[in-house]
Amino acid sequence: ESTLGAAAAQSGRYFGTAIASGRLSDSTYTSIANREFNMVTAENEMKIDATEPQRGQFNFSSADRVYNWAVQNGKEVRGHTLAWHSQQPGWMQSLSGNDLRQAMIGHINGVMAHYKGKIVQWDVVNEAFADGSSGARRDSNLQRSGNDWIELAFRTARAADPSAKLCYNDYNVEDWTWAKTQAMYSMVRDFKQRGVPIDCVGFQAHFNSGSPYNSNFRTTLQNFAALGVDVAVTELDIQGASPTTYANVTNDCLAVERCLGVTVWGVRDSDSWRAEHTPLLFNNDGSKKAAYSAVLNAL
């Protein structure tokens, strides 16, 4: 196959990218994105601050630009993200306790209703665990509202759109030996045991010198899949874009039957939130990097 999406489809998987609505007028960007990828995540446009800038007043203008571009070009869409400590609108940042929980429920219901039946996977909860060796939840207004806020989010999401796969998504959870990975594993195991509706786990896979790729990532993916959830690589970028590391991540997904696909977090290096790391598959002029060929050959 000659494109990432078509190559991934040979094994029933997808290859996706983050799309930024502000770049959709850049024809170099859109021609690469349209040619190579068959799954789209809105880089910022479906986040809480973008979709509910005032409490109870939803705005899907940017989100729909990304969604419509994707669907008009034959792609599927991952929804990102419904409950998160970051990129909350000001009104939500100042909430706490039961008022915040009601606001979270209202937000999930409002966004999922708008996209009901149209989103293949939703990142229901993003980044709820702390970094480091504690294995604890991350402190946030949501966490302070009660430890069960995550399952409340998932139960709300299931009722709002039963057709979407519901994912928990996080970073620094790729290395099986890390406390954060183990904490996420315990939560997913507990959710499956108690019937909390969770379908998938997203591994962001932002690899850099501080949190490098480790070959035990495949073990991590296998162990989560064995709990009875799908897994996905949701925001892949690699500092320096080592072709070997890109091939390894691709092969790790392919080795796990329940790995749905891989999404890279942007198209060209200049599109990346970490552009200085030159972490992506395309150069700024749109040409393919060595990492691109490494991924295509692995698929």
Closest CA to 12 of 35, 41, 40, 38: 38
- In angstroms, give the least distance from the CB of 44 to ligand XIL: 5
CA distance 256 to 267: 25
For residues 199 and 235, which CB has a smaller minimum distance to ligand XIL in the complex?
A: 235
For residues 204 and 220, which CB has a smaller minimum distance to ligand XIL in the complex?
A: 204
- In angstroms, give the least distance from the CB of 72 to ligand XIL: 23
What sign has the CA pseudo-torsion 182, 187, 190, 195? negative
CA distance 46 to 64: 9
By beta carbon distance, the residue nearest ligand XIL is 273
Look at the block and give the residue holding tokens 């399952």. Answer: 151
Look at the block and give the residue holding tokens 């571009």. Answer: 69
Which sequence positions are flagged as catalytic?
235
- In angstroms, give the least distance from the CB of 97 to ligand XIL: 25
For residues 87 and 216, which CB has a smaller minimum distance to ligand XIL in the complex?
A: 87
Residue 48 · residue 104 · CB < 8 Å: no
- In angstroms, give the least distance from the CB of 81 to ligand XIL: 6
Residues that bind ligand XIL (CB under 6 A): 43-44, 126, 171, 204, 235, 273
For residues 145 and 172, which CB has a smaller minimum distance to ligand XIL in the complex?
A: 172
Strand partners, 158: none
